Amino acid sequence: MTRGIVITGTDTGVGKSVVAAGIARALGAAYWKPVQAGLDDETDSALAARLGARALPEAYRLITPCSPHQAAAIDGLVIDPVRLALPACDVPLVVEGAGGVLVPLVAGAAPLLYADMFARWALPAVLVARTSLGTINHSLLSAEALRARGVAIAGVVFVGEGNDESERTICQIGGLRRLGRLPWLDPLGPDTLSAAIAAHFDLGWLL
């Protein structure tokens, strides 16, 4: 495996955290969420740890569940990209973004978007996409935004019920490798997630 990968998505709530936790655990990598916005419910790092991944501390823990730039402003902060440098770790990193690829970390005259940060890290990205209606447009736009910034895309992971036509179309038009599909898991736990990753994913591309 390379020194790490970025897990990003087409939208909020698409399943990035579960996919990131599952891949991190399967490959013996550490999970890192640089910016957590929203502390009332289970955080993404806490979820990853509950699902069996080794979770590193966040660089920022912001109170309000909204875009990181806005959550930081509410807390009286401005996110400093220096604090978002990849942490030293004895194993590779699985780094999870927030929302979609163009979510802002810093707004204003000199914005910093997550995709810009991915380019600074120089890590390949795994794009997580729904299989439901609208996913073709969202997935292809996300891929274009990443490539426009020079971010290599390792492939796409789908989440939800199988949709062969949408998945095939996204991969064909976007020139994307299909890495697997994670079905909805009930119950969701370390064992069910590990079994689903083993059954539905080909992780040889990272080794």
Q: Which domains does the chain have, with CATH numbers?
A: 4-206 (3.40.50.300)
Contact between 179 and 126 under an 8 Å Cβ cutoff? The reply is yes
Which residues contact residue 73 at a Cβ distance below 8 angstroms, ignoring those fewer than 6 apart?
A: none
Diameter of the chain measured on Cα atoms: 46
pLDDT in tens, the chain (207 residues): 458 999 999 999 999 999 999 999 999 999 999 999 999 999 999 999 999 999 999 999 999 999 999 999 999 999 999 999 999 999 999 999 999 999 999 999 999 999 999 999 999 999 999 999 999 999 999 999 999 999 999 999 999 999 999 999 999 999 999 999 999 999 999 999 999 999 999 888 765
**pLDDT recorded at residue 1:** 46
pTM greater than 0.75 (yes/no):
yes
- What's the rounded Cα separation, in Å, for the pair 179 and 190? 20
Which one of the listed residues 16, 25, 33, 69 is annotated catalytic? 33
16 in catalytic set: no
**pLDDT recorded at residue 207:** 55
**pLDDT recorded at residue 2:** 52
